[in-house]
Structures are given as C-alpha cells and as structure tokens.
Structure 1
C-alpha cells in the first residue's frame, strides 16, 4: 500500500506503509487470530488456510514485530555483533561471522557504538538496549570494559581485559608483534620505532610487549623516545609519525600497531619526501585488504580475521544451546612480507 506525500518544495514520492496483521487477515479472508496462529506456528489451522495466509504474507511483505514476538517466545533468533565502528578490521570479522552464522537458524544484527567522545563502556549501554528484546546473544568487538553482568551469552573479540569475564577470541598479539620487530631486526634495523594502539586495550599493550621482547632478545635498548601512541586513529597517528620522522636521529623503521596506522605512516613519509622502503621500512598489523593495495604494498602481521569471527560465532552458538561454558581461544598470527620493508642501508 502506498500514498503520496506532497510538499511545496519537493517532488511527489510514494511512501510505503508497513503491512499489518489486520491487512493480512482481510486479504486472506480469515480472522486475525487465525493469522496469528499461522505466523506463530500454532496448531488448529487447516492446510489450505495455512497456505492461503502464507501466500498473502509473502505478497504483502508482512513481518511480525520482532520485539513483540520475542516477548511472547522469550527468544528472537537474532544474534548481535557490536563493534566500536565499521572500519576494515571489523568489516573483515563480520564476513567470517556472517558465513559462520549461515545454517544456524539465527539472523545477524550489526550494531555500532558511538565513540565520537571516546566513550568508555559503550558496549554495556548497547547490550542493555538490545539484550532480550532484539538479540539472544552477542559478539562484541574490542570492548572498552569488561562485560561481566550481561543477561545474555556474550563472546568478546580482542577483549579489553584479556582472558577475563565472558568467553573470548583473540590473536597471539605478543607473538605477532615480536615477529614484526624481529623481521626488521633481521633486515639490519636498530632504531625501530613503535606506534602503539588504544591505551585502553590489552591487545595494544601486548603488541608493545612483543616489540620490547624482540628488542631485548636482540640486545637492542628500548628507547621511549621511539614510542608514540597512535590509538588506531588517523589524526593521532599523523602526529605520531610526524614527531618520529622529525627526530634529529630519526628511526629507520616503524612498527605500527595496526594496518591503518601503518598506511598513514606511509602517507606521512611521502609528504616528508622519504622513500619507503629505501629511507624507511614500515610494518603493520592485521592484514586488512587495504594493506595489499597500499603504496608500496604493506608488510604486516596477518590476523585470521574470518576465522576469528567464525570461532566467535561457534562459541556463541554453543553457549546459546547450553553445550559449553566459558571458553578462551587464542589464534596464531603470521608475517606477510611485501614491499614496505627492505635491508637497512646506513
């Protein structure tokens, strides 16, 4: 059904109204209670009537209220994916989550928190809005606080507090960062800077820890002057890169805590007239699709992002089905060597 909205300054346009259960009943020639029985799978409806009602439901595009249905059934058959923002890392996770959800009988609701003011605890607020009425369980990406009081099953990816609270899935951040730094050391670099991630995330601390461990194992001193906070954000990374590359004795290599920061380093280096990798080697972390398309192609630590998303859904499904309890999974990271790193030439 449509009607037209008129305005003195805009062209006429059709507005589609949502079909109601009354519309379905009227069109099918049955009572509202009969339609209710059909869409809720209750007995007492003849096969011919059932088929007629379902045909009308399809023709009108009728959908019962998810909230109302959930209140009746105490279940929505929807799982939520809560992310701080939609960026390359979370998008790749969503691909793995989506694929793994197929065939489970559950639908996905992707929900982004408002981090415009660096809000801490956004996931708790989001869960309180969604839990029980819109979603039966949730996968939360990079939560800023531990979610210990959730009323529904929860799995955290890249958790703020590490392996505490609900079930978690993460990558080997320490091992991956150590491998990135070791790669630069093997190329002969000794002044290696690090642009670290969000100060509130354990994963960022772990990547800095891996960087430090690799330096120590190689007998290289840790220099605080060569470490800056990028926070996984372009503005902060830009400032950090400018500061590092403007030092009197600038670093010959930079390990950034994620790919988007590393790509921003490539851009800042070009702005300053530095050639990568001839004048500066750069390594990232994540292996998002943008890394391979950077100029030059970015050497990085690869997270199995699709697998991380799939494992999070597997654990969540088991929790929803009562098949398992808390689980903490850590997956390996691997080096992907491309064109942004080269041997140090003094």
Structure 2
C-alpha cells in the first residue's frame, strides 16, 4: 500500500482496533493496553503511515515543526541552513525550509507572505534569514538572522559586521592601498549593509583618508546588475587598486569582471570579500575574506527559538558573533 494513500482508518482496520484507539496511540494517551499499542505501532511501521501536519496541528495545536524562511538558496543561506540542520537534531522538532527562488521584484516584505502561508497549521515557530522587515504577522515565536535595520522587536542573531568591515579595509591599508573601492551589499535596509559600509568608511578615516564617493557602488540583486556595478568601479578615472566587496558572491564576481577586462588579481587589483562561504576557497587565486560564523549563526537561531517555544526567555535576545580575517591569495601590495 502506498504511504501517500494510507489513512488512520487503514491502520485501524489492519490492527483490528478502532480509529479512536489508533489516535490514542499516536498521541500517547492513556487507556490502551500495552500489547495493543505494540500491535498498532507495528502496523504503522508496516504501512508507513504518517499523520499529516494539519491533522497533528488540529489535535494538539502544535506541529513540532520549525520553519526556516529564506529569500533564496544561495551560498550565504546554505551555510546558515547547515547550522540549523545540525542544531535541530535531538530537539524533537522537524524542519521545513521555505524559499521563493530569489525573484527580485517581490523581495520587499516576503516574510509577510511566507509566514501567512505557513502559520496556523504548518509550523510552530520560524527563523527568518535576512528579512527585509523586522515584524511579520505570526502567532508563534520568530528569530531573525542578519536582521532588518529597524526596531529590534524580535530576537536576532548577527555577526559583528562593523568590525569585520574594518578588518577588511585595515588589511588592504596594511598592504599599502589607498584607493580602496566598496561594492556594497543589497539590500541596504538590512542591519549588516550600513554597518559594513560604516566599517569601510571609519577604517579609511582612521588612516587619514577621506572616503571617495566615486569609489562606492551598490551591488544588485541579480548577476547582471552586480557585474555592472563591479565594471563601473573598475572604469572610474584613477580606478581603485583594491576593492572591498561586502559579500563573497560580489567579491567573486568582481574578480571575474576584472579578469574579463584584462586585469590580474592580485597583480593589478586586490579583492577582499565578506562571509567566507565555501566557494571563496575555490577561486583562483583563493579569495581573502572576512569570516562570519554562518553555521554558528544558524545553530544559535534554532537554540534561541527552541527556548522560546518551551516558554523560556533566552539569556540573550540579540546575539552578535565575532568576525575574523581569512587571508588567501587575492590581495597584495599595489
């Protein structure tokens, strides 16, 4: 019998008991003999029966499912999800990942749409990864990873973006660069975007350099917009000798654009990124970058959410994790 067609009535018929008895076994209720419980569970295993999440929710007002909401499955979110998957083991919760595939025109406010679809009967709580707004209509607890820059009205997990950007620019300054460009990270309404830009500017000012607005470009949501922003940076008069890209995807794109223009990395242009996604170690040369602990961020978000679902107040509701410089081969003296 196909598991997709198995119902609670099928289990009851095969076990020779009532539907009510099967329901008691499924919900660990009293009033069922031990040998009957064993027989019903054996039939459940044999038939591959699974009660639906909706039915479970209607019975218990809980699904024991946590939702992770992401705009797209890309290197950043994939690393966060690895930490989420590791942390959920042994919690008694199952995991559902909900993504829209990164359709740029619909980006703003995607959390509202996703939570309205998943709330009520599918998930008990949610982790939102890089949300564009900080509030969304949902009855259960919510934790935000890389939160929106607005009021902190939900628990959050982030990295020290300001210090990480300072480390990146300080590394380039230490190599002797003075014309340092910034390829900033969209969307700017995330807390991390302005923090990384401020880290860039503050490191330059600390070195006695006035930030040049001609050396700052905003990366786009899609590949073509990102490539165009990188090309603009590399074609300004007195072009930069180094570029700090505010995420690794932007940095890797910058390296590819530079190569297409006949520029050598790091001979003609130094490039440094932010995130330390696995792809950053696979470029030629390897990408020097700022590591934020993406998997740990995913892990901490689940730990916090499980505490909230248990009715406890986490020791920290706004967690900020340290960043560090990872030196590879994409940066050299100008």
Q: TM-score, normalised by structure 2?
A: 0.95
Instruction: Assess, with a 3 A threshold, how the Cα gap between structure 1 residues 81 and 91 changes in structure 2: closer, same or farther.
Output: same
Matching residue of 1:236: 225
User: Aligned-pair RMSD on alpha carbons?
Assistant: 1.5
Listed as ranges, the matches of 1:1-346 within 5 Å are: 1=1, 17-113=4-100, 115-116=102-103, 117-147=105-135, 149-161=137-149, 164-198=152-186, 199-231=188-220, 233-324=222-313, 327-344=317-334
1:178: Cα distance to partner? 0.7
Asked if the contact 2:181–2:244 (Cα under 8 Å) also holds between the matched residues in 1, the reply is yes
Asked if the contact 1:232–1:261 (Cα under 8 Å) also holds between the matched residues in 2, the reply is no
Task: Identify unmatched segments of 5+ residues in structure 2.
Answer: none
Point out which structure has higher relative CO (alpha carbons under 8 A, 6+ apart). Answer: 2
1:118: Cα distance to partner? 3.7
Matching residue of 1:8: none
Asked if the contact 2:289–2:327 (Cα under 8 Å) also holds between the matched residues in 1, the reply is yes
| Deviations 1:79-138, CA, capped at 9 Å, x for gaps | 111111111111111111111111111111111145412431111221122123111111
Question: Aligned residue pairs: how many?
Answer: 331
Q: 4+ runs of 1 displaced by more than 3 Å?
A: none
Matching residue of 1:7: none
Q: TM-score, normalised by structure 1?
A: 0.92
Q: Secondary structure at the match of 1:54?
A: helix
Asked if the contact 1:193–1:226 (Cα under 8 Å) also holds between the matched residues in 2, the reply is yes
2: CA distance, partners of 1:128 / 1:288 = 31
2: CA distance, partners of 1:333 / 1:273 = 33
